[in-house]
Structures are given as structure tokens and as C-alpha cells.
Amino acid sequence: MRNICSRTSWTGSLGSRRLQEQRQEALRPLHGDVLEIGFGTGLNLVHYPKAVTGVVALEPARLLPRKVARRIAAAPMPVELVYGSAEQLSFGNRRFDCVLSTWTLCTIPDVLAALREVRRVLKPGGRFVFLEHGRSNAPAVARWQDRLNPLQQCIGVGCNMNRPIDRLIEEAGFMLERLERFQMPGMPRLVGEMYRGVASAH
């Protein structure tokens, strides 16, 4: 599991202005104690709302440690960096108020296992907040995503372009409270089909 799309050609840079605006919008529902899966280099930290009281940042790889340390030090809330996999979370049941994922579900090998773990560690009434790219709702585009996904996995170091994010979240036992589907301007449609929303456990 890794927020690895920053290394792929489809974004250019996940730090770009347009993508940062999407992060800011996606993170608005967060509050309380938050687990972020696929923390990467900490690009989300500046967009956390004031209602967040603490962050546990989960990341499987040691990416740019000095930059990450600077971003964590500058954060207005306590941030604990933990190395590990979302498929086997080391946290107790019902610990977090919210769990956040941004452009991460595309790369997790067993995404359903990770989503079930996310559900396990959420408190009753907790929320899973997500911003992801995935399968198009246009059949012709989806067929091309299926054809080209093996190539995308190679050049994107495990990134999948054809995962039906909404269906996977529901299959893991969540109820979608809000879902926005849109095409990211300036990105090829194959990798620019976005899912932004909030889900809660049944």
C-alpha cells in the first residue's frame, strides 16, 4: 500500500495547485482523531481543518524523510508517523473518529482487506473520507481502462486505473453518505475519473 501516484506520469505532481484544491475540498469533513492511510510525504497536512485534534499518519515506505519531518513539525496538530500496511492495521477496534485516503486505494494490493480494516478501527458513527481516481462510468472508457491497466500497473508501480471505488467501499460494509464523481481538468480521462466522498459503517 502506498500513495505512489505522485511518481506516475498521469499527475505530473500531486503537489500541483489544482490537486491541492481537491485535497482541501475533500478534507473538509474531517474532525477529531484521524488516521490517514497512504500518508506519502504529507501533502495533506496543510489542508486539515481546525476540527482535527490529532493525526496518525500511516505509510509503508520511508519517503523523503527530511521533507516529511519538516511538514509534520509545521502541522498545527500532533502527528504520529507510523510505518505499516493498511491491510493489517496495528490499531485497536473503534479508535478513530475519521480515516482519510487520498489517491491511495488504487495501489493497495488487497484493497478490500484494507477497507475492512478501516471500518474496524473507526468509532461508531466514524467517517471514511476519500479522494480517489478509478473506474469510469462511461462503458467505452472503462473498457480501455481494463485493456491498459496491466501497463498502468507497470509504469505506475502498482497503481490501478480501473478500480470501482464506490462499489469497493460498499462491499467492505460502508454506507456512502456522499459521493461526487467528476473528471479532473487537464488529465486524460483514463486516469482522471475522480471519486470524492464520505462513507460510514452500517
CATH code of residue 44: 3.40.50.150
CA–CA separation, 20 and 76 (whole Å): 18
Q: What domain range includes position 120?
A: 5-201
- The domain tally of the chain equals 1
Amino acid at residue number 7: R
Mean pLDDT of 147-175: 95
Q: What confidence score (pLDDT) does residue 198 get?
A: 98
Asked if residue 200 lies in contact with residue 176, where contact means CB atoms within 8 angstroms, the answer is no
Q: What confidence score (pLDDT) does residue 14 get?
A: 52
pLDDT at residue 5 above 80? no
pLDDT at residue 75 above 60? yes
pLDDT grade for 136, boundaries at 50, 70 and 90: very high
- B/e letters for 24-42, b = 16+ CB within 10 Å, e = fewer, are eebbebbbebbbbbbbbbb
pLDDT at residue 129 above 60? yes
pLDDT grade for 81, boundaries at 50, 70 and 90: very high
Q: What confidence score (pLDDT) does residue 9 get?
A: 42
Sign (positive or negative) of CA dihedral 158, 43, 199, 180: negative
Output 189-192 pairs: Cβ under 8 A, ≥24 positions apart.
Answer: 189/136, 189/138, 189/141, 190/10, 190/136, 190/141, 190/144, 190/145, 190/148, 190/161, 191/8, 191/10, 191/133, 191/152, 191/161, 192/10, 192/133
